[in-house]
Every structure is written in C-alpha cells, then in structure tokens.
Structure 1
C-alpha cells in the first residue's frame, strides 16, 4: 500500500498515517529532510553532523548515490584527517578489456551502452591501487569474478544478505545513503527506495532510534529522475531521510543514467538447463530466480510452456523428461499457467516483467493472513461476491452485525466500495442506508446491490528486495501504469529471504503467500555428496558472495510443498582445461550436503532430497558430462559410496555437447530458443567479433592451442570484403607493429571460418 493512500488532510500540517513501523516510529516528530542542491554541500553537512570519522553504508548495485559518494570520496582523498570506511556490496563498473584487443572491441560498445553513466571513483582507484590509507572499501558481495587475485579479497565480509544491516551496524555505520526517486502529489512529497528497499527499510527505524538516543548518524538520499518510482513498501515519507541531495534544484541539471546490465546471450546448454527447471515450476506457485543467462533461459522456457504448450510437450517427449526424471510429474507441471505464479525473489530481474506481460506472473498475494489463507484453500477468489462477505464472517474476520472497524476493514481489502460509510449503526452509500446485519436476507440483498466492490484490493504479484537489468527493463518499470505498479512491491530483504517474523509480515503470512515455492539458484560446482559451491574457491578466494542463497535454500526446507533447485553447467574450462563441475569432493562449500535437494544440468534433473548417499552420488553422475562420468563413478566406488557392480544406465551415457547441439538445431529450425530471445545489446559486427575473440581466447589457453592458432595465422587468406570491415572496427586494418600483424592474421583466420 502506498503511503499516499494514507495521507490525513484534516489538519493544517499534513501527516502520513501509515501502518509501516518505520513511519510510525518517526511520525510527525521528525521534520522533513533538508534539501541540498550540490554534492559538496552535502559532504559539508555530513561532516558537520557526524564528524570526520565516517562509516558509510551503501546498498547493492544501482542504488548507490554516485554523485554524493564520489564527492565524499574525493574530500577524504584530499583531506587525510578524514577517516572514511565504505561498507557495501556489488560495486558496478563498466567493462574494461584485459588487453589492447579486448579494449578496442569494448570501447565503442561501452561508449554507446554506458553513455552518461558515471564511474565510482573509489573503484577506479581500487583498480589502480591508489586508494589512500585513510580510506577503506569493504564489500559483503562482489560482482561475480571481479576481484579474483586482488588485494580486495582481504576486505571481503562473509555474511548472509539478511544479516547485512546487523553487520554494518556492528562496524559502526553512521551514514546510510542511497539513490531514490521523488514525487510530489497534492503538495505531499514522498521518496521511493526504488531499486533498493532491501536494507533501507530495516536501517531507517534503527538509525532513527540511534538519533533519539543522542548518536550522531544520518540517513541520506540522492534523487535521480531516471529511477523508476516504485510504490507500496518502497514509498516512504519525506522525513525518513535527514538530508536529500536533489541536484535538480540547480538550473539545467540533468541526472546521470543508471547502470544497465546488457542482455546476456543464452547458450544451448543454458537453454536446456532452463527448460528442465521450467518443468518443476508449479502452476499457482511461487518463483525465485537469480541473475544471468541461466535465469533468462528459465524465463524463456516458462514462456514457451505457456504460449506454445504443444511444442513444449514435444520437446519434453524428445528429451524423455518424464521417463528419465519422474520428479517433474510429482513436483512440477507441464500445462499452460491458469492460476499463474507469484514472484518472491531478492533480485527482481527483467524476466519477471516478461512473465507478467505474458500473463504468467499473475497470482496475487495479500498482506492479510485470513484473506491469503482463504484464497489458498480456494474458499474465495479475488473476485468479490456476497459469498466473500459471508465466508469472512464464518471465519470470524468480521462480526455478524457489522461494526465501524469491520466496515473500514472491508473497504481496505476491496470487499466494500470506498464510498460506503458507517454511521449510527447503519451502512450508508449516497442517500441509501441499511442495517449491516449479515443474518438478515434483506440486508444481504441491499449490500449486494449497493456496497460490494468488484475485486480484492492490495494484492501484489511480486515481492523483491533490489533490481538491476537492461535498459528496456528500466523503461518498462518507468512506463508501467499506476495499476501495474501497485502489483510490484519492493521490500525488505529480510521479508523476502527468510520466514522469520518481520515488521512487514510474520512467518504465518509469508508461508501462506509462498505456497509451492521454487527457489531456483545457480552454483559453480556441486560435489557428489550434494554440497553446492556458489561463492568462493577452495583456496579461499571469493568469486561473489553468499548473498541470499543460503536463506532461500534453508526456507525451502521449512515449507512442506517447497523445493530448492540448484542449476549449474555440467563442465567448464578452468586453467585452459575442460573440467567437470560435478566433482567428487571440493575444499569449500556454500550449501552443505544436509540441505541438498534438486540439482539441474543441461543433461537433466537429480532429485537428492531425503535420498541415501548411494542414490545421491549416482543421480548426480547421471546428469554429469559423459566425458567425466566413469572417473566420478570410479572415485565413488573406491570410497565405498556406490556399489562395486553399479553401472550407469544406458540412457544416461550420451551426455555430450553433440547430443545437445543436435536437439538444439532441431528446435532452432522451429524458431525456438536462440541466443538473444529478449533482445540484444550488441551490433551484428560486435556479435561476429565477440564470437571470434571468445573462440581465440579458448583455443590459445593452452600451449598446443597457441601453436595451432599461430599456424592457422601463417596460412590465413587475405581478408575478404566481409572480414575487412571487422578488422577496421578492431583498428587492425593498418597494423603498426609485429604484434598487430600477428593479431590481424589470427583474427582473419578465425573470422574466415
């Protein structure tokens, strides 16, 4: 519910009456935030308020207030008397090539796709090793792979996303800042936490309490008009923040663009993983997904199931899904979505918008436990009838003889029209009035004729904690109608990621909303005992972070009809050599074996929950790449985890890239799948060059591969009319030295294939 719907205008000073404890705790005691037009002035105010020892808490990804952060960083950089510690996660940075060839490829793309997107100064200095001693940058989640083999590994804090506020407070955070959107309606200004309600909703009441106790802390916002204004829990009063940087107060100011993640290509293997995952999604259920191509692949196959169901079922038949992986019959569905899905995901990706527009993401959940329970039991629907009223009375949600509180409640949930009034024990609408006795047949007829609303109100189809995505995703959020916006609720990460009681909703409500939940996450590797490796390597180097994965896995085991699904590619090239991602053992674990459940690769589904070890081991071997199956089986037998006479069934011995390619080709000819089903951020030239550069990088990863490529370069033909423009795009049309001549020949050979 938007706070604007709860504005009380009966007194001279407008006050926002909200059920949100943040606003209730702050109330009218705290004045509206001070507006500041210039970043440097905001820095001055912060130093005056909290002093020169600043511990700055920032949200993930695009929620960082870059103008303020850069101004504060530069002030601390120029003034060693300031101690600045930045506590955050996912500090986004534009793509930068590792060599001259990659840089030449990326520059036009970056100039185009990241136009007017500012850099974070502290990241630029971090890459150069130029952060001064009085400044520290600590992160609890890295952008995947961004700080491998970096000194920044020493500044990583391992924590669950749900514990981030606690951990930042333990570190002494005294300034919390983020990017917001702003709007004023009928003289009332509110701010939207937009992409990052995740931590701010939990920080605000704590920071307010610290202020009341005399601690010098500050909640800071930076306005950016490009931010989609999200409503519901994300919309807060103008006194939630202490200081607001609004550079639009300056004449002719233009806000910077948001960092947008380009559309990721979906490989044939990713499509197969997404397809298998889609068979486990239950109509009428709940969906959580992560970011990246595996998430996009799941979205695509879910849409395929809904829109082209006969073709979807043919693909299931070709893959023998039901015969080889019977779990899809007990856990999932194969039909188009009638009841639809509800999204409950810490990260709201663009896939949820595609599902919403297709009519798949449409199951509404409500903040009222009685309503949600009755909907789950199919006692009522979202369509209001007189039966809705009587069933609420039967379940003691309202009295037989309606009271003022009953009428207010019925209006709030949409059972009664907003125009219904209650005075002197009578229901009033216009000039009509009648007693609200639900045992009286005449009263029920009158209520049916004059009072009933059409549908329940306040339902949402999506709860998310933060979002990031491509440009068209931000455009879609900005262009949504008001009615559509009310269906999407950005909220606290603690509300989304676990089942514990929270000020927004208790465990009973959360569990009622999240029926048939499918918490679908990605892993880098899985061991044969069912442990998942998702965040770090066995040498201790952190690839990304735990984030919310552990919480989602844990809550899936707390609800009887929910499942945790872990997706991963069966193998990967590491250190120039192809290796299995299903391993016998590994020296690091993100998700322990006792929380094992469902694992999916491009070769199928392994159902591990409640299974003894010998089944767990063999089920995972069945969905591993056949080039590694025997080695895995031999190790399992040697450890006594699998019977000596066990043989891999014949139907699981053809797990090869060739089998995937054959099936993929068959369906691409039917215009199914494809690398960019949701749009492409690259030009045709860039796609050709990207494919060639990726192939060269893979081939030259080993000494043997380098020698073969050099030989092909020596024998490469003269650049054709097709290849010549691509070489020019890479600045290799007129090579200036021996290195460029060799590179030109290497690229010519690869592009000429």
Structure 2
C-alpha cells in the first residue's frame, strides 16, 4: 500500500474530497459511534450551501443528543445533556432529517434507525434500506459509494503510529475489500478521535489502510454515551427467565438497553447468589424449573455479539465472560472435547497435538509458527535446519526422539496458551463509564476483546468449522415487538410498513440458532405495550408485517414465562404462547385461535397461567428488589437522585396526558391533596414562576406525581 495523505484540517480534507471527486458524493459512514461527526458536518455544510453539488449519505443509527418534546422536557434535559454529552457534536444531517429540513441536493439512506424516532418522517421512511447486517457491505457498494469515512483511535506518532477502527471494524474491512477487488473507485478516510478507545486485534491497522488520515484536533470529541435505562420488573422477569437457559461453557449474544442489563444482572445473581436465584425463579415459573440452568459458571461464557454493550463488560468484570476461544479449529475442538485438559501448557499438550495430527514430526516451519502463535512454544524459539534454538539451547525438531522431546519440554515450552479471546464484537455502544473502562483497561485484558468484521460474527459461512467449534451451546438473545400466536415475530416495522428501527442482525442470529446443533434462539418481548391507543397485547393472532417467519420459531420469552415452540405443532405453539400472554388478553386470543381452527373447541387456559398480571409480577419481585439483587439501575446511572424523581413524575404525567380518564384522576388527586414540589425541582423545569393558568395546572400536576 502507498502512504496515506495526512491532512491537519477538516476543511482541507473536505476540499480534497470535493476536488478529487467531481460528481456526486456518495458517503458511507459506520453505524453508531464510529462516525467522524466533525468531518461529516463540514462536508454536509459545504454541499448544503452549494446546490450544484449532491451528497448521499449511506449509514445507520445516526445518534444525536436527546431533545425534549415539551417545554418541561427541554428545561429538564438541558443541564443533563450538557453534563453527560459534553462536547459531542450532533450530526447536522440527522438534526435536519428529524426536522424534515434536509435540502433537496442531500439525501440520507439508513439501514437501521434509532428506535421509533422516524415513524411518520417521510424522507427517512422513503430512503430506508431493508437489509440484513451481513449484506450491508454489498448494499453500500450498490448505492455507488465513492467515499468511506470513519472515526479512528490512535496510538503512537510518526512512523510508530497505529490506528484502530475501534468501535466499527464491522463493515469497513469488507466494504473496502470488495470495492477494491471490483475496481470501483473509493476514497477511504480515517479521522482521528483521541477519545475513541483504541481496540487491538482485528480492529488495529496501519495508517496506510486509509487514503487520507485527518489529524485535526477538532476531530476529537466525546464519544456518544448512551445512558443506562431503568430496568423494570417486566425486564427483570424476562432477563431471569432468559438467564436460566444459558449453559455454562457456552456462548452468549445479547443486546443493548434495559433488557440487556436485566439479563446481565440475572446472570450475575445466578453466579453469586445461587439459592436466592432459584427462589426467585420458583416464584416466576408456574411449570417448575425442570430443564433450567441454575448453576454457577465454573467454565465461564464466551461473548460473541454484533454489539458489544455495557452488560458484556459487567459480565467480564464479574468473571462470567471468561471462556477463551482460539483462532485454530483443531486446537479449539481439542479444548472442547477434553483432548487438551486445560489451557496450561505441559508435555501432554504437545503429545495431544501430535496425536491429533495438528503438528507433525519433525516439526516444520508452519508447525513452529503455530506453536509459537498460541504459546505452546516460547516466542523466541527458532527453527534452524533440523534444530530448535532458544537462548543458546538447541534440540532436534524430531519429536519422535525422546531425548529431543524431553529437552524441548524442559527448556522451550510456554506457560499457558496465548491468543485467546473471550469477547468478539462488531461495534460497541454504552454509557460514558463504559468507554472510560475500555480506555483504561490493562493491555493484557483488552487483548481478550476482539472487535472484528460483521461477516465473521453474524454468520457461519467462511471459516465455518472454526465458528462452529467456538460457538458451542450458543444462546442468541434478541428483542421483538410483536409475536403472532403461530410463532412469527415483527421486530423492525409496523403493520403499515412504517419502519421502527431495522432488521439489523436478527435474521442472522435466528439462522445460526437453527444451524448450530446445540444453539437456541431466545426471542424476548414484553407481553403488552401501551401508547395513545391504550394497552395492547404484544402477542396477537396475526400481524401485517413479520421480520422472522413462523417456520423459524424457537423460544419466545415474556415476563410471564418461556414458550419453547421449536418443532411443535401449531396447536401446541398457540397454547404455549397464550400461557405467557398477559391474562387480560388471553380469552380473546383463545377465541381467535379457535375461530381459525388452530385450537381445540373445548380448550381453556389452565388456572396456573391466569394470573399473568403486572401487579402480581411486581409483588413477586419486590422482595428481591428491596434486597438489592434486582436494583432499578444495576450498572449505575448518569442521573442524580433528584433527577430520577423528576423523570419518574414526568413519565407519569406524560402517560396520563395520553389517557384522558387517567389524566382526570391524576388532576383530581393532585388538586385534592394540594402537594407542593421542591423549589429546586420547579426551577429545573421552568415552573418556579407560574405566569399562566396552564403553568399553574402543570405545576400542581407535576407535584401530584412526585
């Protein structure tokens, strides 16, 4: 590769792009935090001001700071956003897109959108690209992309400089590889952000990976910190059920948000508080605990997930994510089946590798390289002719010679296998302390985390034997919005076709769960959802859109239990899903299933499933919340205690405004009791001085909800 062009100014980098590419700019940028926001904003502003040029942006998950939808929310958020997001620069195209204000010469095409933010947004809905995560590189190329830009971490200077694709090696490698192989012109730009955690292994490259490296200090800014969400009782119940299906020594995939945190905390409770964990589950499982996994993690888990989230980091710190995998199929299979008893290197390690045929005798150059790579031989060992040499010691490479074998074992063996990975991810996203932990993590610990390509993580094609060996007992945990009684799920869009988020990698994990012999898919959803249309069941007879069809059904989990529907006939699938539905909707679901010939005419919901109600669930979990095992923010929060109280009141007030009868009840209660809010709270919300009747009413309603 040729040396990159180093440019020390964002504006000069934009000049270079516009001067080099005379026509339309089709810019590809990573999803989430890997975007080089200052560079993208500079390019966006330049083309926005020049209608003669056109810009198309291909990306996903464009993150901007929270913005309140009401005066109350805006007053509340302003100091919080300033504190948490610091100098994070909003993506100006995303701000304009949300405001329906994109100029006509610029369009944005996303393959995954921030959940719910673009419903009803015509430009966003028209330009959404529906694709599986593993096809993103292909589909970005289809769009005619001619520039790809990314925020990168940096270590060293001058000739010693190394760059890291950090959060997002997920698609960049494949995009660049495919387009260069096809002879398609592509300018590659790395923008240094010194606050990006420098991730080693698969994410690390030399500067010559890029055509242009931008070193402007203005490219450095705070990484977008997604605050931890409150974990509800329903979240914890789902997480507890899911955690009881995770096998020790297995593989784990989870996602972001309160459900991901609930799963991680439940796994920690299982590992550290076994008796309490069993007691909690006994209250939640009407069919008993047969078939559940309840023991400690003696072997540990391997994390393999497109998204490396805070929950995974907490599981690493808890010593649960610690099962290391190795990038060699035979070595991994030998560890799996016990032919290698442990990762400690002994003479038996060498004998086992010889017996398996992974190395031969006499040792070849390739054999020595393999043994050194994985720590069986010390790194200084060299092969000179037919002799192995280390620090002046020599022995024959013919290991059939007992004297040579004994001398090698006495002088040249390593202490333990090296190169193991216990967390493989495609991109990361988390709160501020998550990034700080990655920035400060000791190198030997960080080396166990491999940020790499999404086509490695999300599918079994390519190095299939290695992936199968590494991903034993895999549990792929995904979230959905709607499940039909026949086992299909809708996770990305509404019946109308309006996109809520995107497919992402969900289909890929579903496919892997069915392709791996000991894997399972855990599809999780809250049993109900509540909006301006009122309370609705998330389990329905049918739905006008599905993300995963019914023939790929496996395990569906709600807060009320586990429905194992893999390989079951339709009538049994219907019964098992009704058993985990909210009891307020069960009779209607039974009625619909019978009307369509999918349930026996005399079927009745068993009594043990008829108390699937939020208040019953709260009562069951309340003692464990009080005991500190199920805290509302298991991994901390950026909000102060006062802010949490204000948020709670605002959420209640917002919910009431969507339900007139509830609002009337709240208003009556607030005025009857005559409660007053603390002055500091009123000042925070701009209500300290109520100048109008409306302000006075809101002030009283807020106080009543505290």
- The answer to whether the superposition gives a TM-score over 0.5 is yes
Q: Retained in 2: the 8 A contact 1:196–1:465? A: yes
Structure 1 residue 320, shift from structure 2 partner: 4.0
How far apart in 2 are the matches of 1:609 and 1:462?
Answer: 28
Q: Which residue matches 2:200? A: 231
Give 3-state SS (helix, strand or coil) of 1:239's partner.
helix
Instruction: Identify the match of residue 550 of structure 2 among 582, 593, 602.
Output: 593
Give 3-state SS (helix, strand or coil) of 2:665's partner.
helix
Do residues 553 (structure 1) and 553 (structure 2) align? Answer: no
Is the alpha carbon distance of 1:392 and 1:661 closer, same or farther for their aligned partners in structure 2, counting shifts above 3 Å?
same
Do residues 266 (structure 1) and 266 (structure 2) align? Answer: no
- Counterparts of 1:11-90 in structure 2, within 5 Å, are 30-90=1-61
How far apart in 1 are the matches of 2:82 and 2:555?
Answer: 42
Do residues 738 (structure 1) and 693 (structure 2) align? Answer: yes
How far apart in 1 are the matches of 2:185 and 2:559?
Answer: 54
Is the alpha carbon distance of 1:592 and 1:326 closer, same or farther for their aligned partners in structure 2, counting shifts above 3 Å?
farther
Structure 1 residue 217, shift from structure 2 partner: 2.0
How far apart in 1 are the matches of 2:500 and 2:283?
Answer: 37
Do residues 121 (structure 1) and 131 (structure 2) align? Answer: no
How far apart in 2 are the matches of 1:69 and 1:421?
Answer: 49
Q: Which residue matches 1:510? A: 467
Q: Which residue matches 1:140? A: 111
How far apart in 2 are the matches of 1:186 and 1:542?
Answer: 46
Q: Which residue matches 1:369? A: 329
Structure 1 residue 725, shift from structure 2 partner: 2.6
For residues 115-135 of structure 1, the C-alpha deviation after alignment (integer angstroms, 9 at most, x for no partner) is 111111111222333221111
Structure 1 residue 435, shift from structure 2 partner: 1.3
Q: Retained in 2: the 8 A contact 1:600–1:606? A: yes
Structure 1 residue 186, shift from structure 2 partner: 9.1
How far apart in 1 are the matches of 2:607 and 2:526?
Answer: 21
Q: Retained in 2: the 8 A contact 1:339–1:363? A: yes
Q: Which residue matches 1:23? A: none
Q: Which residue matches 1:245? A: 214
Instruction: Identify the match of residue 307 of structure 1 among 263, 267, 272.
Output: 272
Structure 1 residue 540, shift from structure 2 partner: 0.7
Instruction: Identify the match of residue 294 of structure 1 among 259, 267, 271.
Output: 259
How far apart in 1 are the matches of 2:612 and 2:98?
Answer: 41
Structure 1 residue 318, shift from structure 2 partner: 3.0
How far apart in 1 are the matches of 2:350 and 2:666?
Answer: 75
For residues 670-694 of structure 1, the C-alpha deviation after alignment (integer angstroms, 9 at most, x for no partner) is 2210111100111111111111111
Do residues 188 (structure 1) and 165 (structure 2) align? Answer: no
Do residues 692 (structure 1) and 649 (structure 2) align? Answer: yes
Do residues 401 (structure 1) and 362 (structure 2) align? Answer: yes
How far apart in 2 are the matches of 1:186 and 1:311?
Answer: 56
Q: Which residue matches 2:150? A: 178
For residues 282-307 of structure 1, the C-alpha deviation after alignment (integer angstroms, 9 at most, x for no partner) is 10100011111001000000011111
Q: Retained in 2: the 8 A contact 1:52–1:81? A: no
Once the two structures are overlaid, the 10-residue window that deviates more, 128-137 or 182-191, is: 182-191
How far apart in 1 are the matches of 2:406 and 2:680?
Answer: 77
Q: Which residue matches 1:279? A: 244
Do residues 681 (structure 1) and 638 (structure 2) align? Answer: yes
Structure 1 residue 713, shift from structure 2 partner: 4.3
Q: Retained in 1: the 8 A contact 2:140–2:175? A: no
Instruction: Identify the match of residue 169 of structure 2 among 197, 204, 218.
Output: 197
Q: Retained in 2: the 8 A contact 1:567–1:601? A: yes
Structure 1 residue 576, shift from structure 2 partner: 4.0
Q: Which residue matches 2:414? A: 453
Structure 1 residue 711, shift from structure 2 partner: 2.9
How far apart in 2 are the matches of 1:621 and 1:216?
Answer: 55
Instruction: Identify the match of residue 344 of structure 1 among 284, 304, 308.
Output: 304
How far apart in 2 are the matches of 1:709 and 1:306?
Answer: 43
Do residues 105 (structure 1) and 76 (structure 2) align? Answer: yes
How far apart in 2 are the matches of 1:320 and 1:539?
Answer: 36
Query: What is the alpha-carbon root mean square deviation over aligned residues?
Result: 1.5
Instruction: Identify the match of residue 393 of structure 2 among 424, 427, 432.
Output: 432
Q: Which residue matches 2:187? A: 218
Structure 1 residue 372, shift from structure 2 partner: 0.8
Q: Retained in 2: the 8 A contact 1:181–1:225? A: yes
Structure 1 residue 438, shift from structure 2 partner: 2.0
Structure 1 residue 47, shift from structure 2 partner: 1.6
How far apart in 1 are the matches of 2:92 and 2:528?
Answer: 37
Q: Retained in 2: the 8 A contact 1:61–1:91? A: yes
Is the alpha carbon distance of 1:703 and 1:482 closer, same or farther for their aligned partners in structure 2, counting shifts above 3 Å?
same
Q: Retained in 1: the 8 A contact 2:565–2:576? A: yes
Structure 1 residue 358, shift from structure 2 partner: 1.1
Unpaired runs of 5+ in structure 2?
none
- Counterparts of 1:312-323 in structure 2, within 5 Å, are 312-320=277-285, 323=287
Once the two structures are overlaid, the 10-residue window that deviates more, 45-54 or 542-551, is: 45-54
How far apart in 2 are the matches of 1:326 and 1:639?
Answer: 33
Instruction: Identify the match of residue 652 of structure 1 among 595, 606, 609.
Output: 609
Do residues 208 (structure 1) and 208 (structure 2) align? Answer: no
For residues 51-89 of structure 1, the C-alpha deviation after alignment (integer angstroms, 9 at most, x for no partner) is 231100111011110111001001101111111000110
Do residues 723 (structure 1) and 688 (structure 2) align? Answer: no
How far apart in 1 are the matches of 2:5 and 2:308?
Answer: 31
Q: Which residue matches 1:256? A: 221
How far apart in 1 are the matches of 2:102 and 2:84?
Answer: 28
Q: Which residue matches 2:479? A: 522
- Counterparts of 1:414-433 in structure 2, within 5 Å, are 414-433=375-394
Q: Which residue matches 2:456? A: 495
How far apart in 2 are the matches of 1:733 and 1:482?
Answer: 51
Structure 1 residue 327, shift from structure 2 partner: 4.2
For residues 456-510 of structure 1, the C-alpha deviation after alignment (integer angstroms, 9 at most, x for no partner) is 1111001110001000100111011111111000011111011111xxxx11111
Is the alpha carbon distance of 1:76 and 1:281 closer, same or farther for their aligned partners in structure 2, counting shifts above 3 Å?
same
Q: Which residue matches 2:496? A: 539
Give 3-state SS (helix, strand or coil) of 2:574's partner.
helix
Give 3-state SS (helix, strand or coil) of 1:302's partner.
helix
How far apart in 1 are the matches of 2:567 and 2:178?
Answer: 41
Provide the TM-score with structure 2 as the length reference: 0.97
How far apart in 1 are the matches of 2:267 and 2:426?
Answer: 23
Unpaired runs of 5+ in structure 1?
1-29
Once the two structures are overlaid, the 10-residue window that deviates more, 219-228 or 445-454, is: 445-454
Q: Retained in 2: the 8 A contact 1:50–1:217? A: no
Once the two structures are overlaid, the 10-residue window that deviates more, 42-51 or 514-523, is: 42-51
Provide the TM-score with structure 1 as the length reference: 0.91
For residues 361-394 of structure 1, the C-alpha deviation after alignment (integer angstroms, 9 at most, x for no partner) is 1111111111111111111121111111111111
How far apart in 1 are the matches of 2:596 and 2:186?
Answer: 57
Once the two structures are overlaid, the 10-residue window that deviates more, 339-348 or 106-115, is: 106-115
Do residues 712 (structure 1) and 669 (structure 2) align? Answer: yes
How far apart in 2 are the matches of 1:38 and 1:186?
Answer: 17
Once the two structures are overlaid, the 10-residue window that deviates more, 416-425 or 611-620, is: 416-425
Give 3-state SS (helix, strand or coil) of 1:206's partner.
helix
Instruction: Identify the match of residue 384 of structure 1 among 320, 323, 345.
Output: 345
Is the alpha carbon distance of 1:714 and 1:404 closer, same or farther for their aligned partners in structure 2, counting shifts above 3 Å?
closer
Q: Retained in 1: the 8 A contact 2:388–2:394? A: yes
How far apart in 1 are the matches of 2:242 and 2:404?
Answer: 51
Give 3-state SS (helix, strand or coil) of 1:680's partner.
coil
Once the two structures are overlaid, the 10-residue window that deviates more, 604-613 or 383-392, is: 383-392
How far apart in 2 are the matches of 1:707 and 1:677?
Answer: 35
Is the alpha carbon distance of 1:715 and 1:314 closer, same or farther for their aligned partners in structure 2, counting shifts above 3 Å?
closer
How far apart in 2 are the matches of 1:168 and 1:557?
Answer: 28
Give 3-state SS (helix, strand or coil) of 2:109's partner.
strand
